[in-house]
Amino acid sequence: MAARGLWAECWEHTAGLWQELRDNQLLKYGAITTVSAVSLVVLRKWVAGGVCHSQAKLHGKTVVITGANTGIGKETALDMARRGARVVMACRDLSKAEQAASEIRQATGNSEVLVRHLDLSSLRSVRHFSTELRAAEKRLDILINNAGVMMCPKMLTDDGFEMQLGVNHLGHFLLTNLLLELLKSSAPSRVVTVSSVVHDRGKIHFDDLHFERTPYSPLTSYRQSKLANILFTRELASRTRGSGVTCLCLHPGVIRSELGRHVETRWPAAAALLRLPALLLMKTPREGAQTSIYCAVTPGLEEHSGCYFSDCRVKRPAPEARDDLTARRLWDVSARLVNHYSN
C-alpha cells in the first residue's frame, strides 16, 4: 500500500508539472528555447566534423600551399605557421596573399611565411614557380594542392584547357611532378590534394575532356576535376611507392568560402535564401581545413598512401575513383597535355 501510494504521489507530481508547463507560457517557451539551443549546438558540432588533434611540430620543415590567401588554404597556412614550419604561400593574387601572410606572421610570430606567385591556369607560371622554388628552397616536406575553382562559367586556361580541369587537376599535376624530386630528397614527405565528395558522380570524359563537342555543364566539369584529383593521388602513390613520399587526398566538407562565388553569381536569389541556413549547415574555413591539416601532419599515415579522407578519417571513395586503369590512363593523358613525362 505504501509503495502504491508513493507511485500515485509521483504520478500526481509529474502530471502537475506537465500541467504547469502547459499553463505557464513563459516556462513553455523557455523549455522550447532550451531544447532548440541544445539541438543547434549538437547540429553545429556534427556539421563541423572531425578535428585534427595532432600536436606535431614542423620546425625545420618547409610547406608549400597553393591558394593559401583565403578560405581553408589560409587556415591551413596559419596552422602550419603555428607549428613552426617555413610556409610558402603559392597564390595568383599577390596583394591578397601579402595581406594574408602579414596577418599570419602577426598571429603566429613566425616570420618564415613567404609569398610566391603561382597561377595554376598557366603552365608557364607553374614552371616558373617550380624553377624558382627549387632554386630557393633546399627541401620540401609537405605540398598541399589546395587551390581550385568551382562551377565557373565556360572558360579556358592560357593553354586552352577547360578552366576547372586545367586549374584543379592539370595545374597541380604539373606542379607536383616538377617538385617531386625535391619531395623525394626531403623524405619522409607528403603530397596532400584537396578533392570533394562530388567526385562520386563524376566521370573522366576522355573523349571530350574540355567540353569542346558536348554542352558545357559547370557541375559536370567540377565533378570530373574532383574525380581527377583522387585518381591522380592514387596513381601518384603507386609511382612513388618506396620513395618516402606519402600521397593523400581529401574532402574538406561543404564550406562557407569564396570558392562558391560563381554559384552565388549564377543563382543570386537562391544564394540569398540559403545564406542564413548556410551559417548552420556549412563549415567555417577553420573547420574545413581540419582534414587538410590532419593529412599533412598526423604521424603514421604512410600506410594509407593513395587513400581518400573526410572528417579526419579514411573514407572509401566512389568506385570510379578506385579504378587503377582509369587512373593510369588519366596520368598518361595529363602528361601529354602538360608536356611532362616521368617514369
Residue whose C-alpha is closest to residue 54's, from 74, 80, 35, 31: 80
Active site residues: 222
Q: Cα separation of 149 and 144, whole Å?
A: 16
List, in sequence order, every residue forming a beta bridge with 191; answer none if it has no partner: 143, 247
Those residues with Cβ within 8 angstroms of residue 198's Cβ, 6 or more apart along the chain or in another chain? 219, 222, 223, 226
CB 179 within 8 A of CB 126: no
List, in sequence order, every residue forming a beta bridge with 247; answer none if it has no partner: 191
Could you give the 3-state DSSP secondary structure of residue 83? Answer: coil
Burial string for 214-231 (b: 16+ CB within 10 Å, else e) reads eeeebebbbbbbbbbbbb
Q: For residue 162, what is the DSSP state?
A: B
Cell of 55: 600536436
Q: How many CB atoms lie within 10 A of CB 11?
A: 10
